[in-house]
Amino acid sequence: MDEQHKPIVRLIYVSRIAKGCGPKDIEEILAVSRVNNKQADVTGALCYNARGFLQCLEGSRAAVNTLYRRIVQDPRNKEVSLVSYQEDQERAFGKWSMAYVRADDVDRQILKKHGIPGSFDPFALNAQQALGLLRDTATERAAFLARQKEA
């Protein structure tokens, strides 16, 4: 099987943000993730608010497993909980080394579309809601960024 059609794994997890972890830490996580993920051919998306992180990672089984072990051991995360782990033929976030969305920026219509009442709570989502929310939000973010470039 050629590399183009090799199955990938998609891992979705949630975690709480450790006390003392602030905006600078989030910026650092994103900067380091984008570099490391590109080198490891891992793509994904991250959404966070004061309640915690929702993240999807896609890539080879070895790369995703290694990255997840690091995340579980990272003191900025606590109560790390696996939501979904499955094989797929194509990536949902192939254009993103790490798409990033603050939960404040998640459109209420996207929440409603995925049956998420009220506000974003990463620990209240099932696997389908989590992937749908991340996928739709990343798509919306990409369209926004494209419009910004055109302006």
pLDDT reported for residue 117: 81
pLDDT reported for residue 106: 81
Q: How far apart are CA 30 and CA 27, in angstroms?
A: 5
Q: How far apart are CA 117 and CA 131, in angstroms?
A: 16
Which tokens sit at 113? 């579309």
The model's pTM is: 0.88
pLDDT reported for residue 5: 62
* Band of pLDDT at residue 80, cut at 50, 70 and 90: very high
pLDDT reported for residue 50: 81
* Residue 4 φ/ψ, nearest 5 degrees: -60, -35
pLDDT reported for residue 1: 45
- Identify the helix (H) or strand (E) that includes residue 139: helix 127-150
Q: What domains, with CATH codes, occur in the chain?
A: 3-150 (3.30.70.100)
Q: How far apart are CA 132 and CA 123, in angstroms?
A: 15
